[in-house]
Structure formats: C-alpha cells, structure tokens
Amino acid sequence: MPKLSYRDASLAAVQHSMREDQTVWCVGEDLGRGGVFGQYKGLREEFGEERISDAPISEAAIMGAAFGAAMIGTRPIVEMRFSDFALCATDELVNQIAKARFMFGGQSRAPMVIRKPMGLWRSSAAQHSQSLESWYAHIPGLVVVCPGTPQDNYSMLMAAIACDDPVVYLEHKGIWDIEGEVDFSKKYEFGKAKIRREGSDVTIVSWSNTANLAVEAAEALSGQGVNAEVIDLRSLWPWDKEAVLQSVAKTGHLVVAHESVAVGGFGAEIVATVAEKAGHTLKGPVRRLGAPRSLVSYAPNLEDMLRVTSEMIVTAAQETLEKAN
C-alpha cells in the first residue's frame, strides 16, 4: 500500500472520483493554483478549468451555484478554504441545501461535498481557527464527517462524493502533512466508528485530530498499566452509538475529548446518550474535554492554552479510574 500524506490522500480521492464520474467537479477559490493547502494540486492540468473551477471571492455565490448544479444532476465538490469563511454561505447550506430533498418531496436532491478545513493552525487567530462541527450536526439533512487519518481522508472523501445527500466534510488544517498507508480498496460506511485501539479499562471517544492525540494518550496510559480503548467516531452524523455503548459497557469508564468548544459541543451529546442508555454500567465519573468558550488568540502561548492535549486526556482517564464507584 502506498504511504500518503493526509493532503495527498484527499487529492487521490478527488482524482479517482473525477476519472470515474464525469459529473464530479470542483468549485472554489484558489483551485487553479492547487488550493490553499495543495489539496487540488495538478487537477486543473488533468481535468481543465471547466471541472476545476476557480470562483470569485463570494462564498454565498459558490455555495448557491453549486447547489443549483447539484439539483440538475452533477456532483459538486465545494471548497470553502476555511470553515470560518463558509459562514458567509450558511443560509444556502442550512436553509436550502440541507432541506432540498425534504421540501421537494424527494423529487430533487443535493449530492454535494462541502469541504471546510477546520481547527487550530499555526497562529491563525480568532477568525480562522474554529471547529464548528457541532453546529452542522445540529442541522437535519446534513451528513457531517471529520476524518483524522490519511486512510480516512481517502475512503471517507470517496464515500462523500458518491453520497446522494449533502456532506459537510471537515478536514483538520493542522494535519495535512501527517502520513500513513492508504488502501485504495477500503470502503467507508457513514455512521461507523473505528476502534483505533482496543482496551478494557477506559473508553476514550474522539474525532478529527484529537482522535490522534487520544491514541497517543492511550499509549502513555499503557505504560502505567491502564488499557484504554480509543474510538474515533469519524462521522458525527450519523454517529456510531452502538460502538460507544458497547465499549462503555465493557470498560465502565468514559472520557470524551474534542478540540471544539466544550459548551454545546458534540461531546455533550455522547455523554448524554451514555447516561440515558448505559448509565448503570458506569463505574466512575464521565470526563469531557473541550476548549474553553474563548476566542483564539494569534499569540502561540495563548493559543496553546485552548488546546486539548494528549496529556490532558491521560489525566482525565486517570481521574475517572481513581474516582471509580
């Protein structure tokens, strides 16, 4: 299997999909020069400007035009550059795209992928560092996914492009360069989590880059005699409730960690579901980690104060085990 970066895995997914399906095309800013992060590099040369379409700086126009194109039979990949910029097109996404299939009684659909690079990234400050996945998980009609590895960024993007519903596709800006083996034959099913590490003492649930940190935390815990199970949700809607509930029933302990703001975050949905469905299996207090409700500073030392780290995950796991009933 080839070893690819997170960036190149997504590039391969777009390239393979465009070769197989002539209705797939890309639209957004800076695509002609390969995209802000190089995730479209070389595609204009292969597919031409009609299928790798550079757009003016108007997110609402980009999203609206792609929606119209999706409704008449094409499969647009919409590049928003940063998830923060996509807020300029929130009405098109939330009030039109998400509701199209329902409001037209199934006679029309919006098979499109909306790529929104998310997360903390080298002093990008308050307007370019947000993780807003919980917002989109709240909206009926949207599929919401957060790949955290090169393999997932290939398989999940392939699945998203083939999906007949709109997919909010949230890639983490800080991990474009991480590398891993990619099996081009591996398929992805929406709503299926991945057990990144099996364990029996404590369940750690996460997604996106924080899932990678959770794996690091689990390895550190193993050196202390703690066997942690790491679940990478990958998909926030639909999400794999059964995988989480089965793991918690086994371990009796739960830590949920994510980079986005803890207040109203999707971690709260996971904790509430476990409390309702499997609260009787818990042996210790649940720990939930997320960013404080604070704006992100440009200064690296202040930015770092908002990060959820592998060390924090280790501490949270230790605390729930220490306070076991």
Whether residue 236 contacts residue 144, with contact meaning beta carbons closer than 8 Å, is answered with yes
Whether residue 193 contacts residue 239, with contact meaning beta carbons closer than 8 Å, is answered with yes
Q: Please state the φ and ψ torsions of residue 191, each to the nearest 5 degrees.
A: 85, 5
Residue 322 burial (C-beta neighbours within 10 Å; 0-12, 13-18, 19+): exposed
Catalytic residues, by residue number, are 128
Say what angle helices 150-162 and 6-20 make with each other, to 10 degrees.
30
Q: Give CA–CA dist 138/20, Å, rounded.
A: 33
Q: Give CA–CA dist 114/78, Å, rounded.
A: 5
Task: List the beta bridge partners of residue 77.
Answer: 26, 113
Whether residue 12 contacts residue 43, with contact meaning beta carbons closer than 8 Å, is answered with no
Q: Give CA–CA dist 182/156, Å, rounded.
A: 12
Going by C-beta distance under 8 Å and a sequence separation of 6 or more, which residues neighbour residue 175?
6, 148, 209, 212
Q: Give CA–CA dist 273/243, Å, rounded.
A: 12
Vertex 100: Cα angle to 161 and 49 (nearest 5): 45
Single-letter amino acid code for the residue at 115: R
Helix or strand (DSSP H, E) at 290: strand 287-291
Cα 220 vs. chain centroid, distance in angstroms? 25
Q: Give CA–CA dist 220/45, Å, rounded.
A: 46
